[in-house]
Amino acid sequence: MAGTVFFSVSMSLDGFIAPESSDELMGKQWMELQQWIFPTRFFRENLGLGEGGEEGPDDDIARRTFARTGASVMGRRMFDAGERMWPEEAPFHTPVFVVTHEEREPWERPGGTVFHFVHDGIGSALEQAREAAGDRDVRIAGGGATILQHVNAGLVDEFTVAVSPVLFGKGVRLFEGVDAGRVALEPLRADPTARTTHLTYAVRGR
């Protein structure tokens, strides 16, 4: 269980990763936020949309993120939104541990995704995800509150934000409420592409 704990999200230029309401997902702003990944060959393959799609830096980054991930952790809000929108073959293809207050039996989907519902906190969810991931990495898939909990608890090793050229004005901020006095960042790399800039940081304690 030596893998890295990380998150990887798209972020607007003014710091938002999602609209305020999950009902606004798939709206114009959100589609602009994710515009870097939609045209990629990986995106089409992973969602079973058929052949085609662009290759290049964005496609390479999406593939590397998927390949390194052995398990994911997500919050209930993200799961509830995704349950309505994901295809039958959910796009994770690995175990996913959902942090929730409700007990529920594991939900197995075609293609290898199994959702496990953890009702005793992020520490337990992360421990189970680490065990399931083996020597691969654990991704904190979201949403914003779940990512922030892990950051403030010192449980995130690194992260990548794809900064998209779109302004939200309001919504879910990535670092709203971060304990900045405890968190320091070390730049690892910047990968500009035609549609976004992928910024990767290691997370250190102050």
- In this prediction, residues 36-60 reach a mean pLDDT of 92
What domain count does the chain have?
1
Q: Mind listing the pLDDT tens digit for each residue in 94-103?
A: 999 999 998 8
- Tokens standing for residue 74: 């997500």
pTM for this entry: 0.93
The range of the structural domain enclosing residue 111 comes to: 5-205
Q: Are 109 and 90 in contact (CB under 8 A)?
A: yes
The domain that holds 168 is classified in CATH as 3.40.430.10
Q: Mind listing the pLDDT tens digit for each residue in 92-135?
A: 999 999 999 988 999 999 999 999 999 999 999 999 999 999 99
CA separation for the pair 132, 121 (Å, rounded): 17
CA separation for the pair 203, 189 (Å, rounded): 13
